[in-house]
Amino acid sequence: MQLFMQQLVNGISLGSIYALIALGYTMVYGTIRLINFAHGDIYMVGAFFGYFLVSVLNVNVFLAMLLAGVFCAILGVVIEKVAYKPLRKSTRVAALITAIGVSFFLQNVMIYFLGPEVRAFPSTIPVMPFRVFGIVINMKQVFVFITTVILMIVLNAIVKYTKMGKAMRAVAVDSEAAELMGIDVNRVISFTFALGSALAGVAGVLVGVYYNSISATMGTTPGLKAFVAAVVGGVGSIPGAMIGGYLIGLLETIVTFMGGSMYKDAAVYALLIVILLIKPSGLFGKNVKEKV
């Protein structure tokens, strides 16, 4: 039982990271109905930017996280303007292929300039394990969890109480109607990308701190899994993405705990397929009737 509880703690740390990435997917999908395949790679760029700041410039890890967030926000906006905006009126498949192209581009540019090898992220947070009811929790896990919770609260506040957040929600419901009401849809979309990418950038630094290793291809698998998390929670729903992220994190650690560590990725994809078949709109998604 204690071992199981231990796995839960690990699962929550992992889930925090998935949740942060999933939020970006879900917000972007909510506004422009695009699976931003490049999102996982923005997270990777964030990790590398954080690595650069911490190990080369000796920046404090909190500041590095903030700067990585800002950098990724700019990157996200640039990607949106250059690659996605010209395609807003074209087919969904075209937009999706473009997103895959951007993902490939980011990944291969990083490999080209920095090499494909795994790099060690300097450990900046002391491990300092301590026991709570016999469960070992270390400082890194606390750090990851608290950072995530703070970011989620901030995000929720932005979406709920600011003017921009209101505009975001309006665009998500009906972008044409929002435009008619005088909302600058392009600005809202850019803002959404900035917000989502910033969260991914922070998640990248968190992963660096938590696992101490980063590589140019680290974005693909967590990116896909975070997307699964977003779908499980209901694409477009912010609380859904958070809960989906934690569910995926817990699922992975539980499957590992049951001795199926080799199958943990398969379990996540299997969950995705099951959810898509049983409740395609996800746990928190709204059912949208298709109009002819």
Partner 1 sequence: MNRFHIRNMVWLAAAVLGFLALYALVQAGIINRFYQITLVTIMINIIYAVGLNLVLGVAGQFSLGHAGFIAIGAYSAAIFTKAMETNTTGLYVGMAVGVGLSIILALIVGIPTLRLKGDYLAIATLGVAEIVRVIINNMRDLTNGPAGISGIPLVSNWINVYIFMVITTIFILNFVYSSAGRATMAIQQDEIAAESMGVNVTLYKVSAFVLGAITASIGGSLQATFLGIVTPGDYTFERSIDVLIIVVFGGIGSFTGSFVAAILLGLLNVFLQDYGQLRMVIYAIALVLIMIFRPGGLLGTRELRLGSLVTKALGKDKEAVS
DSSP per-residue codes, 130-159: EEETTEEE-HHHHHHHHHHHHHHHHHHHHH
Shorter beta-carbon distance to partner 1: residue 22 or 206: 22
User: Nearest approach, Cβ of 268 to partner 1 (angstroms)?
Assistant: 8
User: Nearest approach, Cβ of 85 to partner 1 (angstroms)?
Assistant: 9
Beta bridge mates, 131: 136
User: Nearest approach, Cβ of 90 to partner 1 (angstroms)?
Assistant: 6
User: Other C-beta atoms within 10 Å of 279: how many?
Assistant: 13
Residue 92 near partner 1 by CB under 8 A: yes
Shorter beta-carbon distance to partner 1: residue 12 or 23: 23
Q: How many residues does the chain have?
A: 292
User: Nearest approach, Cβ of 291 to partner 1 (angstroms)?
Assistant: 10
Residue 125 near partner 1 by CB under 8 A: no
Residue 283 near partner 1 by CB under 8 A: no
Distance CA 10, CA 141 (A): 8
**287 vs 73, 235, 237, 282, 291, CA distance in Å?**
31, 11, 12, 9, 12
Give phi and psi for 137, each to the nearest 5. -120, 135
User: Nearest approach, Cβ of 241 to partner 1 (angstroms)?
Assistant: 15
Contact 233, 243 (CB under 8 A): yes
Q: Which region among 142-150, 187-195, 203-211, 260-268 touches partner 1 (by CB under 8 A)?
A: 260-268
Residues that bind partner 1 (CB under 8 A): 34-35, 83, 86-87, 90-98, 100-102, 104-105, 108-109, 111-112, 220, 224, 227-228, 231, 262-263, 265-266, 269-270, 272-273, 276-277, 280, 292
